[in-house]
Structure formats: C-alpha cells, structure tokens
Amino acid sequence: MGYYPSKIACLLNIIIMLGYGMIDCLVGGQVLSAVADGGLTVVVGIIIIAIITWIVVVFGMAPFHVYERWAWVPQLIAIFVLVGSAGPKFDTNIKTTGDPQTVNANRLTFFSLCLSSSIAWAPAGADFFVYFPPTTSKWKTFTLTLFGVGLALSFANLMGVGLASGTLTNPSWAEAYDTSAGALIIAGYDGLGGFGKFLGVLVALGLIANNIPGTYSATLGFQIMGRHLGSLPRWFLSCICVIIYTACALGGRNHLYDIFENFLALMGYWVTIYLTIALEEHLIFRRTRGFDWDAWADRSKLPLGLAALAAFLIGWAGAIVCMDQIWYVGPIARMVGSDGADLGIWVGVSWAMLVFPPLRWLELQKIGR
C-alpha cells in the first residue's frame, strides 16, 4: 500500500488488537466473577486476566510459543464438557420466522459478523509466520492456519448459539445472561458442582491464550507507526498495550463492551478490502518480479500507494452505503429484507477489486513503482 498509506492499515490493526484485548479481559473477568458467585468482583477478574497476559507477553516469543502450544488442550476439554452439560438444554426446535428474503438477509448478516471476527487476525498473521524457517511449506502453513482458526471459531460460535437459544426457554440462563456473558457460560456448567467451576476457570484462562498474540501484534504495530516508536523496546510497548486495554475494560465495563462489540464488527470491512488489494498486487503485478523484502521500510523503493489508497477509500465508501449496524444502516443495506442486510464486506471488496488494477497500472506507468 505504500509507506504512508500502509500506516493507516497498521493503525486500524492496532485498534483491532487492543479492542479484542479489552473484550477478552472483560469477558474473562466476568467468568471469574461468576465462578466465585460474585465473591470476586469483575474488576479483580479483569486485572487477573491482564496480569497473566502481561507476564507471558513481556518475556518474548519463547514463553509465548510454549503457552500457545498447549493452551488449547484444556480449552478443548472444557468445551466438550460444556457440550455434554449444557447441550441437552439447547433449544433446537426454534423455528425460523419471517419471509424468505428477510431470513436470508439475516443469515447473511450473521455470516458477515462471523467473518469479521475471524478475518481480523489476517493482518497479524505475518507477525508470527515471519519466525518460521524460509523452507516452511506454504501449503502446510495455509492449511493448518485455515483449519486451526476455522475449527476453533466454529466450536465457539456453535456453543454461543446454543447457549443463546437456551436463554429463551431456561429462566436461570436468561437471568445469568442478564448479569453478563461470562455468567451465562458458567450457567452452562450447572450441575457439575466444583468441577464446573474449575472448568469455568479454564475457560477464563483460555481468553488469555487469545489475548497474548493480539497484544504482541499491537506492539509490532506501534513500532511500525514511526521511527521514534520503533526505537522503543517491545517489552515496554507490551506494558503500554496491556495498560490501555485494561483501563478501557475497567473504566467502561458497563458500557464500553457494547460499544466495542459494535465497533469491532466494522473492522471486517477494512481487513477484507486490505486483503483484496494485497492479493491483487501479488497475483497481478508481482507474480513475475516478486518483492524486495529488504526495502520494506525504504520510502524511495516502495510504491507511493496512491492506487492502493484510492481503492481502499472507494471500497470503504461501498461498505458504508451497504453496512447494517445497530447505530447505522446504509441506504442499500436497508433495501434488503424487512430488517436490512449487512452487505458491507461484499460490496466493499468488489468495489476495491474493480478499481485497484487499473489505478495500479496507471501508477506504474506514470511513477514507475
């Protein structure tokens, strides 16, 4: 995208990582509070999650890889037990209501939301893959990443849908959900006694495994934003990141969660547009001549990024008129079904995809890079 336009994407990526860090701390704090039956406040729970995240992140990649290599095992066990404990209370007989057009529009909106939450990790992927040996198989990396992220998110989404369906028929679950999302998770372990509370703690610790890579990626983003920030040690920036999203979680635990829940859904728009531009640059313009990786920070050798910036903004314009959020529904999105449909990702990507190749060709012809 060029030296300066790429900083826009970098800043947006920092916002994503810190935003999800805030949500992870908040939900983790809610879970720990629910495990303690309110004896532990959400504030203390947030601080516990933040401190453990900070300990792992501040000591670098070695403990990070050790933690992430094994953290998924107890999480998987906890989720499987939750399936057995809460599954019988899922309401699988709920009938879809509404005309076919509205139902399909709602399904597309939900799919877009799920895509936004998962694809937000794409810009951070290179922060970790760069440590792999150059001989690492591209297809193995792609396949394992796809299935790893896909399966993890599928399990989480299915459990979330199941628990949500139970709140419609189970008064105790509805009461727990009124307290917090974390309390609803613990309610799913009702009947397991102390073992259920132990599994609840494992679920909370699993949020740390999700928090660590986001924090690490945010520190790299800060270093890329400017020369002075790049000179700061990564451990120091890790401390700053943890402080920022912990303060947000503490100060806005009653309201900020809803704000970020809606705001972070918007992040899927820019990520998909950014990936579209990057893929077209690679497949159309770089396939024969490749990239000069040593020039990644050399402004004289990098593209000006005018074509990428224009395509990025045009894609965003398409996303805005087609987005369907609680606080804003675009004029085109409003035309689909009775409730509207979130078409922002798809229209934003298509607009950027159409305009970038001719603009990039023109940029190469006139500027030469």
Residue with tokens 């094994």: 70
Instruction: Indicate whether 255 and 332 sit together in one domain.
Output: no
Question: Phi/psi at 324 (nearest 5 deg)?
Answer: -135, 95
Task: Look at residues 258, 259, 262, 253 and name the one whose alpha carbon lies nearest to residue 28.
Answer: 253
Number of domains in the chain: 2
Condensed to tens digits (0 to 9), the pLDDT of residues 1-60 reads 778 888 888 898 898 888 888 888 888 888 888 888 777 888 898 999 999 888 888 876
The pLDDT assigned to 97 comes to: 77
231 and 272 together in one domain: no
273 band by pLDDT with thresholds 50, 70 and 90: very high
Same structural domain for residues 230 and 129?
yes
Q: What is the pLDDT of residue 246?
A: 92
Contact residues for 263 (Cβ-Cβ < 8 A; gap 6+) = 19
Helix locations, 42-170, DSSP H: 42-58, 61-86, 100-119, 126-129, 138-166
Is the domain of 254 the same as that of 358? Answer: no
How many other CB atoms are there within 10 angstroms of residue 139's CB atom? 7
Instruction: Assess whether pLDDT exceeds 70 at residue 118.
Output: yes
Q: What's residue 261's pLDDT?
A: 62
Domain boundary among 259, 276, 291: 259
Distance CA 333, CA 270 (A): 18
Which of 239, 259, 279 is the C-terminal boundary of a domain? 259
Q: Please say which residue of 259, 290, 308 terminates a domain.
A: 259
For position 60, what pLDDT does the model report?
67
Return contacts of 333-339, CB within 8 angstroms, 24+ apart.
336/101, 336/105, 337/98, 337/99, 337/101, 337/102, 337/103, 337/104, 337/105, 337/106, 338/98, 338/99, 338/101, 338/102, 339/98, 339/102, 339/105, 339/106
Q: What domain range is 271 assigned to?
A: 266-369
Residues facing 329 on adjacent strands: 324
Q: In this structure, is residue 237 part of a structural domain?
A: yes
Which pTM does this prediction carry?
0.85
Position 121: which residue type? W
Looking at the structure, tell me whether residues 277 and 319 fall in a common domain. Answer: yes
Q: What are phi and psi of 91, to 5 degrees?
A: -95, 95
pLDDT grade for 327, boundaries at 50, 70 and 90: confident
Examine the domain organization and report whether 60 and 156 are in the same domain: yes
- Which residues 6+ apart lie within 8 Å of 31 measured at CB? 45, 182, 185, 186, 200, 201, 203, 204, 207
Residue 40 contacts residue 178 (beta carbons within 8 Å): no
Supply the DSSP symbol for 329: B
Residue 116 falls inside a structural domain: no
pLDDT digits (tens, 9 = 90+) for 131-146: 788 888 888 888 988 8
**Domain identity same for 81 and 216:** yes
Instruction: Read off the pLDDT of each residue in 164-181 and give the average, rounded to a whole number.
Output: 85
Q: How confident is the model at residue 352 (pLDDT cuts 50, 70, 90)?
A: very high
* Rg (alpha carbons) of the chain, rounded to whole number: 22
Does residue 196 fall inside a structural domain? Answer: yes
- 188 and 50 co-located in one domain: yes
- Phi and psi at residue 329, to the nearest 5°: -125, 120
Measured CA to CA, the distance from residue 77 to residue 84 in angstroms comes to: 11
Q: Do residues 237 and 308 share a domain? A: no
Residue 260 has pLDDT above 70, yes or no: no
Give yes or no: residues 168 and 62 share one domain.
Answer: yes
Distance CA 117, CA 266 (A): 10
User: Is 115 within the bounds of a domain?
Assistant: no
Exposed, middle or buried, 297 (CB in 10 Å: 0-12/13-18/19+)?
exposed
pLDDT-wise least confident of 83-87, 198-202, 295-299: 295-299
% residues pLDDT > 90 (the chain): 14
In a domain, 206, yes or no: yes
